[in-house]
Homo-oligomer: A and B are copies of this chain.
Amino acid sequence: MRYYRVPNEAVRRLPVYLRGLFTLSEDGHESTSSKKLADLIGVTSWQIRKDFSYFGDFGTRGVGYNIKKLIKEINKILKLDTGHKAALVGVGNLGSAVLSYPGFKMYGFELATAFDADPDKIGKTINNITIEDTCKIKELKKRKVVIGIIAVPRHAAQETADALVSAGVKAILNFSPCYLTVPKKVKIITIDIAMDLARLPYYMRAS
């Protein structure tokens, strides 16, 4: 742990390492080497070791890494060990899929509430979560929700972001296909499937 600046790319890869370690753990492994993990997830062993080195010494020379310990360490680095409450806004097709997404629990998140503007949806329950009126977003602060998930139509996305920020969320996962402006203190990550889809043909061989 001798570095002062951690590359963004290294942080981006940590969850990928975590996913690989989960797989190894499920398959009954107790320890691994950087090489074994690397082959499993499609990167190089020195990339993994370098990335870890930004945060500390997690392995044993000549031996490798203890998987349970490593998972714990990465969870700590990513602050996934403290539990975070999240709120979904927009229960359409995509929002519904998000509601039933099993990945939240795996990474220590709790999907606490869901909001929608459609009166027909308000009051209904999906996956044990009752959909509330969007105007109640302001109550999130009381409920200690720190993460907002936006899955509303594009034209409503910015106002939703503003409402979530006012309600005190510290991070936003944005599924609406647009760039959103938020204060610097709020971290926002936008996911738009189309952005990945649209560059597939570029890489397609002519055949």
Which positions in A face B, CB cutoff 8 Å? Answer: 11-12, 14-16, 18-20, 23, 40-42, 77-80, 82, 84, 93-94, 96-98, 100-101, 103-104, 106-107, 109, 146-147, 154, 170-171, 173, 177-179, 181, 185, 187, 189, 191-205, 207
Contact = CB atoms under 8 A, between A and B. Distances in A.
A107 B194 contact: yes
Given A41-B179, A194-B107, A77 B202 contact: yes
B173 A197 contact: yes
B15 A107 contact: no
Contacts of A201: 78-80, 82, 84, 171
A181 B109 CA distance: 30
A207 B181 CA distance: 19
A15 B199 contact: yes
Contacts of A16: 195
Interface centre among A23, A100, A177, A181 (most CB of B within 10 A): A177
Nearest to A174: B196
B199 A106 contact: no
B23 A178 contact: yes
Given A97-B96, A198-B107, A170 B42 contact: no
A200 B189 contact: yes
Question: Counting chain B CB atoms within 10 Å of each CB, which of A19, A94, A199 scores highest?
Answer: A199
B11 A178 contact: no
B171 A200 contact: yes
Contacts of A202: 11, 14, 77-79
Enumerate the 10 nearest inter-chain pairs by beta-carbon distance, A residue then B residue, closest first: A15-B198, A103-B194, A97-B97, A187-B203, A79-B201, A171-B200, A42-B179, A170-B204, A15-B195, A107-B198
Contacts of A185: 205
A67 B86 CA distance: 38
